[in-house]
Amino acid sequence: MSDNNEAAIIVETNDNPTHAIIWLHGLGADGRDFVPIVPTFEFSPTFAIRFIFPHAPVQAITLNNGLRMRAWYDILGLDRNSNQDTDGIRKSELLVHHLIAKQISEGIPSERIFIAGFSQGGALALHTGLRYPQKLAGIIALSTYLPLADLVEMEKTAINETIPIFLAHGTSDTVIDIDFAKLSKDRLEKLNYAIDWHIYAMAHSVCSEEIRDLSNWITQIADPR
């Protein structure tokens, strides 16, 4: 494991990784938050994948009375009708572009790169992956929603219209209501995206069954045997 001057934490499951997962943390956390899940993935011993856990910038969050914390964009409200920080979302989208470009420069092509995220990070993963101008391996969006949903049809890129998408949510999530997540799933399906939808008996978190399902999903795409 390496910490790239606090820009991101890098964890590789084997030498010479052939694939990469850029994993975006949730509001108020940092890149370290999901590092412990890497050993819990059920990959084949020879499958080499690089996990990149970047840290969001620190900024004031309106929903939290202006408290400064790591965040990919400002949160104005959790209601599905709340205004959204469009400029902040697009600014962080460019940060993800830079992370993808770095992996490409290190020999992992875009079609072998997944964008993943939890909660706010999952929202950014969806936003970025649907709009990215080069083919990606897939999008992993956990306990989250589709931001700027009304703009997706206009802004989505044709090259990623068939991108595999793993969506998962907890039945007892009190941070992002599961009905909001289902609404996001339905909107994506209406745009003909192939959604692998999973529901778990959990709150706003990640569970072992979810990681097992995600392991199988990633393996089917990246390491079919």
pTM of the model: 0.95
Rounded mean pLDDT for each run of 10 residues along the chain, 225 residues in total: 66 95 97 97 93 97 95 88 93 98 97 98 98 98 97 97 98 95 97 97 97 97 77
Residue of 196, 204, 205, 213 marked catalytic = 204
Please state the CATH superfamily assignment of the domain spanning residues 2-222 in this structure.
Alpha/Beta hydrolase fold, catalytic domain (3.40.50.1820)
Is 173 designated active site?
A: yes
Residue 80 is predicted with a pLDDT of 76
- Domain spans, the chain: 2-222
β-strand partners of 75: none
Residue 4 is predicted with a pLDDT of 42
Residue 120 is predicted with a pLDDT of 97
> Phi-psi region for residue 66, left (φ > 0), alpha (ψ -120 to 50) or beta?
left
Residue 82 is predicted with a pLDDT of 83
Residue of 92, 110, 119, 143 marked catalytic = 119
Residue 225 is predicted with a pLDDT of 61
Is 204 designated active site?
A: yes
Q: How far is CA 147 from CA 68, 105, 125, 165, 212, in A?
A: 22, 29, 10, 15, 27
Residue 1 is predicted with a pLDDT of 54
Is 92 designated active site?
A: no
Q: How far is CA 220 from the centre of its chain?
A: 18
Residue of 30, 33, 85, 173 marked catalytic = 173
- Rounding to the nearest 10 degrees, give the CA dihedral for residues 93, 95, 97, 100: -130
Q: Which of 215, 124, 205, 136 is nearest to 172 (CA)?
A: 205
Residue 177 is predicted with a pLDDT of 93
Cβ atoms of 205 and 143 within 8 Å: the answer is: yes
